Amino acid sequence: MSEQLIYLSLALILGYGSAWLLGKLHLPAVTGYLVAGLLLSVFKVIPMTSLHGFAIISDIALGFIAFAIGSEFKLDFLRKLGKAPLVIAALESTGAVLILFGVFLLFKVSLPQALLLSAIGAATAPAATLMVVRQYRAKGPVTSMLLPVVAMDDAAALMLFSIAAAIAQVLVRHEKLSVISMILLPLLEIVGSLLIGALLGFLLALFLRRIDRDHDRLIFIVALIFAGIGLSSWLGLSALLTCMALGAVYVNLSRQAVHTFKIADTVTPPLFLLFFVLSGAELDLTVLRSIGLIGLIYIIGRIIGKFAGAWLGAWLMKTEPAVQRFLGWTLIPQAGVAIGLSTLALRIAPDYGTQIRAIILCATLVYELTGPVITKIALRRAGEIAGHQEQSV
């Protein structure tokens, strides 16, 4: 126990220091956390047995990430936006999945690995994108469409991954594929997760209606997120979807939702830092030698799929030309949810999970290094950063 606490302390300090240093280069904090984890991996500071013992930290961090995603699904806000963000989010997510899956099959990647990697490709990291928008005070049709699309993106990714994971589990266990295993079981998992999350969201709204002090409210927030994670694990459901539904139902039932999510955010910084650092520390660098082609396919194929899907959705919804031309370039960053899904992939398909996790972590580094810069260029070309007019691509 004493050694594990020392390792966690070291991870916190090293992660903070790395993020601070890379922040001087205007890089996202998550990149610093991952670099810190990679350093711990290279020098084998934390034994693998200890890293496996920290799995509960990943589970809790994923629960809070999904809870925060749920907060973006306020019905009043969605009604004002209309169908365009929903259609674009659906098509850019499925676009990435279909492009990746098709190319993986072309290169004869094993079916379970192709399914899981393709589904993870749907996820986009909102943090890096929003950082650019806020830093440069971007404003315009592309920015207005970008924010809700990014919010809906990870929800679509969670649902797509749930379906892919159910099919992959059948393949890994060498069971016979059927309509039940391919469609009904994933559907039951999704519906069951959403129902439990909705119930917990209702209970959270009911409890917090009677509580005034912030630290008391935090107790119930954490308790119900823990309950969502625990019940999902116990019933074989998706903790990510459960906690997302928890946040979505609560934000639509409570007038104090904005303040409540701010309270939840007070406990997440060290939790997310540990999540990313430990994720990087678990990377087996010896695997990198064997992921070259698959990793390259993933990085390039995901970008093509995101861009094509975003363009098609924007064109079908007859959005402004700038949205059709530039929105796809702002959807490149990928981090938290993708890394979390790679953790789940490791449990679902252990034979492929190590390589999947290595690919996702390496891709995350590439995306987080390049994504914010590309987003800035796209918004600048769209004329949505002050002082810059639209240019041809």
Question: Tens digits of per-residue pLDDT, 317-331?
Answer: 988 898 899 999 988
CB 88 within 8 A of CB 310: yes
| % the chain with pLDDT above 70 | 90
Q: Is 137 left (phi over 0), alpha (psi -120 to 50) or beta?
A: left
The predicted structure's pLDDT at residue 389: 43
Once rounded to an integer, what is the mean pLDDT over residues 249-259? 92
Say whether pLDDT at 387 is over 50: yes
Once rounded to an integer, what is the mean pLDDT over residues 372-385? 84
pLDDT confidence band for 388 (50 / 70 / 90): very low
Once rounded to an integer, what is the mean pLDDT over residues 198-209? 95
The DSSP result for 192-245, as a single string, is HHHHHHHHHHHHHHHHHTT---HHHHHHHHHHHHHHHHHHHHHHT--HHHHHHH
The predicted structure's pLDDT at residue 71: 83
pLDDT digits (tens, 9 = 90+) for 283-310: 766 666 666 788 889 999 999 999 999 9
Cα distances (angstroms) measured from residue 83 to each of 90, 145, 159, 307, 316:
11, 11, 19, 19, 11
Say whether pLDDT at 335 is over 50: yes
Q: Where are the domains of the chain?
A: 56-381
Say whether pLDDT at 391 is over 60: no
CB 276 within 8 A of CB 32: no
CB 95 within 8 A of CB 337: no
Alpha-carbon distance of 276 to 239, in angstroms, equals 19
Structure tokens at 19: 């993020």
Say whether pLDDT at 91 is over 90: yes
Q: pTM higher than 0.75 for the full model?
A: yes
Which of the residue ranges 37-41, 176-180, 222-226, 389-393 has the most confident prediction, judged by mean pLDDT? 222-226
Alpha-carbon distance of 177 to 166, in angstroms, equals 11
Structure tokens at 223: 């308790």
Alpha-carbon distance of 375 to 327, in angstroms, equals 9
CB 145 within 8 A of CB 165: no
Half-sphere exposure of residue 338: CA atoms within 13 angstroms, side-chain side: 35
| % the chain with pLDDT above 90 | 32
**CATH for 56-381, options being 1.10.15.40, 1.20.1530.20, 1.20.1260.10, 1.10.540.10:** 1.20.1530.20
Which of the residue ranges 82-96, 127-141, 325-339, 369-383 has the most confident prediction, judged by mean pLDDT? 82-96
CB 85 within 8 A of CB 148: yes
How many helices and strands, by DSSP H and E, does the chain display?
A: 19, 0
Once rounded to an integer, what is the mean pLDDT over residues 176-197? 76
Alpha helices of 317-335 — where are they, by DSSP H?
Answer: 321-326
